[in-house]
Amino acid sequence: MADLKSTNPVNGDVVGTYPEMTSTEISSVLNEVNDAFVGWHSLKIEDRCQYFRNLAEILRLRQNEFARLMALEMGKPLAQGKAEAEKSALGCDYYADNGPEFLKEKYIETDATESYITYQPLGVVLAVMPWNFPIWQVFRFAAPAVIAGNVAVLKHASNVQGCADAIEGLFLEAGFPPNVFRNLTVGSSKVAEVIENPFVKAVTLTGSTPAGKAVAQKAGSMLKKTVLELGGSDPYVILKDADLDQAVSACVTGRLLNTGQSCIAAKRFIVDATIHSEFEDKIVVAMKKQVVGDPFEEETTVGPMVNESAKEELESQVKASIKAGARVLYESEIPQTENSAFHPVTVLSNVTPGMAAFDEELFGPVASIISANEEEEALALANQTPFGLGAAVFTSNIEKGRKIVETQLEAGAGFVNDFVRSDPRLPFGGVKESGYGNELSSYGILEFVNIKTIYIR
């Protein structure tokens, strides 16, 4: 069995090693979690909610600790790590406050004496989670699923096992019964084995499109429910009547949050040709203000990429795009640290379909600017992608913007005059190769329940 390793992306140092569980150990954990299900779902939902209020309080008290752990394992700047811990606490509070209403029996008038819908948990839910938001992604799933009465096992990314262990510890510290939430220290090669276990009733995955397809295929062969949140190449359409300062601010934030390593990061900026030059000038000025550096330094806004492999892949995509005709408008300096994963903040212009910077997901701090001659062309370019996670439009005509995001952009979320992000109060999910199903809001808590009809004569 191979050890899982956490590596500091600033210098390449190994900061933690974690022995991978054997098949026997995996089976034992799943058996214990399944045993915990009966007692957990028999609790009143109000009692389950209180545990999450306890957890939210601890998250807030320990946000600095979690921010430092994320900075160490995957390079997230400290300020962003603290915000992630706070957002996770907000998610716990949101479902603690609203879960009972979301899962309240719904009475329907029929020819029965009594007929209604009740929501029953499924059992053990497996979560396959990524490294880029190692705390929030987990609680985005766990809060609704576990409040609904399910129990959970986490297969976290191999390089953030410190975060995974810490999350499991949080549940125990908050007073949860043992085995309601467990971390499985396994690599991706073991996921199929976990899905095959009869105790596992459903699977949720956030990650790459190939990983999602593999999990869906395996789970589908066993008729197990899946929710998939996959890759994205989010287009931001900047129309000629847009407030350019507002648009540039949102574009820079949306592109560089988490060093650009986000499925809903702004990936492609499609700009009306009449304002194209002015937009380029303004975004370069804004990008030059970013501070690329050690995530432990408070002034840092852009940290390293997660590892050297990710950096090299992005470098390859940028070089291929330049060779195909893209032009570099700006490239920042980066810390000259041996074995580091820093990639310069980069702005590419003259990007067209057929280039990696247009066709592929660039998972890092690289902005792609595309010129469009008219609104119809801009929207066609925006939709010219296999992905459909988020999209945004910038315009002073709010009704036009509303129509565009509602009916013309192919995405799970449409934003007008702001950057795409998730919010516990709003459903989150994608279309096309960005996945299916929803997380968050009332829709997210209903993904892993049996929506059961009760009919009484």
Summarised one tens digit per residue, pLDDT across range 395-407 is 999 999 999 999 9
Chain segment 252-276, per-residue pLDDT in tens = 999 999 999 999 999 999 999 999 9
Give a yes or no: residue 306 inside a domain: yes
CA atoms within 13 A on the CB side of 103: 29
Please enumerate in sequence order all residues whose Cβ is within 8 A of that of 195, keeping only pairs 6 or more positions apart, or say none: 126, 203, 215, 218, 219, 222, 224
Give a yes or no: residue 10 inside a domain: yes
Please check whether residues 304 and 181 belong to one and the same domain: no
From residue 141, alpha-carbon distances to 128, 152, 180 in Å are: 10, 9, 14
> Which segments of 246-362 are extended strands (E)?
266-272, 327-331, 346-349
**120, 196 in Cβ contact below 8 A?**
no
Residue 123 has pLDDT above 80, yes or no: yes
Mean per-residue pLDDT, 412-436: 98
- Which one, of 411, 429, 391, 419, lies nearest residue 141 by Cα? 429
CATH number of 412's domain: 3.40.309.10
Mean per-residue pLDDT, 193-215: 97
Give a yes or no: residue 386 inside a domain: yes
Mean per-residue pLDDT, 103-120: 98
Residue 1 has pLDDT above 70, yes or no: no
Please check whether residues 257 and 296 belong to one and the same domain: yes
| Secondary structure class of 404 (helix, strand, coil) | helix
Please check whether residues 146 and 224 belong to one and the same domain: yes
Please check whether residues 336 and 258 belong to one and the same domain: yes
Please check whether residues 67 and 161 belong to one and the same domain: yes
* The pLDDT of residue 212: 98
pTM assigned to the model:
0.97
Which residues are the active-site residues?
229, 263
Chain segment 43-63, per-residue pLDDT in tens = 999 999 999 999 999 999 999
Chain segment 278-325, per-residue pLDDT in tens = 999 999 999 999 999 999 999 999 999 999 999 999 999 999 999 999
Give a yes or no: residue 198 inside a domain: yes
Mean per-residue pLDDT, 19-26: 97
**234, 415 in Cβ contact below 8 A?**
no
Please enumerate in sequence order all residues whose Cβ is within 8 A of that of 397, keeping only pairs 6 or more positions apart, or say none: 239, 241
Give a yes or no: residue 20 inside a domain: yes
Mean of pLDDT over the chain: 97
* The pLDDT of residue 51: 98
Residue 25 has pLDDT above 80, yes or no: yes
* The pLDDT of residue 336: 85
Please enumerate in sequence order all residues whose Cβ is within 8 A of that of 390, keeping only pairs 6 or more positions apart, or say none: 232, 234, 264, 411, 412, 413, 414, 415, 420, 430
Please check whether residues 218 and 239 belong to one and the same domain: no
Please check whether residues 17 and 150 belong to one and the same domain: yes
Please check whether residues 447 and 409 belong to one and the same domain: no
Which amino acid, one-letter code, is at 62?
R
* 193 C-beta neighbours (distance < 10 Å), count: 13
pLDDT more than 90, % of the chain: 99
Residue 207 has pLDDT above 90, yes or no: yes
* The pLDDT of residue 337: 83
| Confidence band, pLDDT 50/70/90 cuts, at residue 2 | confident
Please enumerate in sequence order all residues whose Cβ is within 8 A of that of 378, keeping only pairs 6 or more positions apart, or say none: 237, 239, 270, 271, 272, 372
Please check whether residues 114 and 159 belong to one and the same domain: yes
CATH number of 104's domain: 3.40.605.10
Give a yes or no: residue 424 inside a domain: no
Give a yes or no: residue 427 inside a domain: no
Please check whether residues 271 and 374 belong to one and the same domain: yes
Domain interval for residue 142: 3-230+432-456
Number of domains the chain is built from: 2
Chain segment 346-396, per-residue pLDDT in tens = 999 999 999 999 999 999 999 999 999 999 999 999 999 999 999 999 999
Please check whether residues 209 and 104 belong to one and the same domain: yes
Please check whether residues 103 and 199 belong to one and the same domain: yes
* The pLDDT of residue 388: 98
* The pLDDT of residue 44: 98
Give a yes or no: residue 368 inside a domain: yes
| Secondary structure class of 122 (helix, strand, coil) | coil
What strands lie across the sheet with 225-229, from one edge to the other?
A: 181-183, 151-155, 124-128, 200-206, 225-229, 435-436
